[in-house]
Structure 1
Amino acid sequence: MTSPEEPAPLAAQDGLEAFAALAAHQLGEAIALMRGAATVLEGEHLGPGGQEALRALGAGGDRAQRYVDDLLDVVRARSAPHGGVESPRARLDSALDDVLVELDPFVRRAAVHVQREPLPLAAVERADARRLFLHFTRAALAAGATRLGATGRVEGDRVVVELYDNGEPHPDPAVAFEPFAQPRGRGPLVGAGVSLPVSRRLAARAGGRATMAVRPDGATVITLELPSA
């Protein structure tokens, strides 16, 4: 019998991941149907109460979609990296640009100042780089950050990227990378509490690592070490 400290057998893990992927797909379709129905109702004269219900429905759909995306990220982070002929190469600047465009309404609403330095190329899949930045930015905004920063440098065969923000620090940095630890922050952007564990696994998929520290001034710093391209 497997003890609580021992990992589940590989076959059990594979089955769980397959079920999670299927469940996420089905939930995504259900959310799309719900959003489609809400779009149709937007053209109707529903009155103030009906419009408020539609807004609540939209907010619920957005929250459910974030949980689905987090579930898919858990599955992706546990899978083996793509085994192509060429090594993956990601322009980290472009990946961060994509994330800031996606979260632009939240960034503008909170009047967040973004300070960036040019980021180098890294030997990581573009999708993984994008999800790394997305999890960091979403967690920082949920923690009430009004300042985000990104710096990068090459150290030998490694790329070191530091992502920092002035939001409320994680309640317990010692367990921040544990699966389903208490999410950092609160509000509509908080997901299932898997952002940091997924980030660590995505970095590990590329042969790197992710760590977190809180500076004396209270700023949270996520350090990503990735193979250089």
Structure 2
Amino acid sequence: MKFRYHAALLALGTAPLLGRAQQLAAPLAEDTVGHLSDGFGQPVNRFYLGTLTKTDGTQIRAYMPYSRSGYENRIDYYAPPLSIDNQLRHRHAVKVKDIQSIAVHGRTFEAITIGTKKADVLALHLFDGPITLSTYSEPRAISIPLALGAFGGPSLLFGIPVSDKSHWYLYRNGVWTEIRRAAFAATMSAYLFDNPELAAKVARQEPNYLHQNTPVIIAEYNQAKVAGGK
């Protein structure tokens, strides 16, 4: 091949390299194939067909870069149908501050507003409940092994990176709150005031009740709340 296009689009598996003149058929709503691009030496992204909703209500159906931990600054996307020309010459970009949510490959990423300030990231929506939980992990974070314990089960965080730079966003009674690593025990135990037993475990910094265990802590709180417990 005369030119090597590092942005060549590959279907997952053993699909062949697409030539410049080749083009995928217009995608169907149920298209779930992941497509790869390394963006000329940039980290490899996997694109899936998804829906981006802007803050003005506009919806865009396109191939979005798939993230396991959220987005920051801006995202690039490609309108269907996909082709190498699309990747080389027809890339679209939108700033995160202009996005309300992204639904892609079975996951939803949402804008978080704390007080009157909108966070400059899109956080991954983990689960709903009496307390809703979303997360964002900063790039170049160091992964942390997580003991899931009895609550939430192994599927709760399947494929979700938990790191030293994970941000946890909790939603209750119409208000988002970020629980930061600094002073986590005091802040989280105060947030869980209506479950004194659980709050005490967090305040004492018992094993599996630390900052990185936030999903398990909230899952335990929600389970007790739904069951009519504390």
TM-score, normalization by structure 1: 0.26
Q: Which has the higher helix share?
A: 1
Q: Which has the larger radius of gyration?
A: 2
Q: Which has the higher strand share?
A: 2
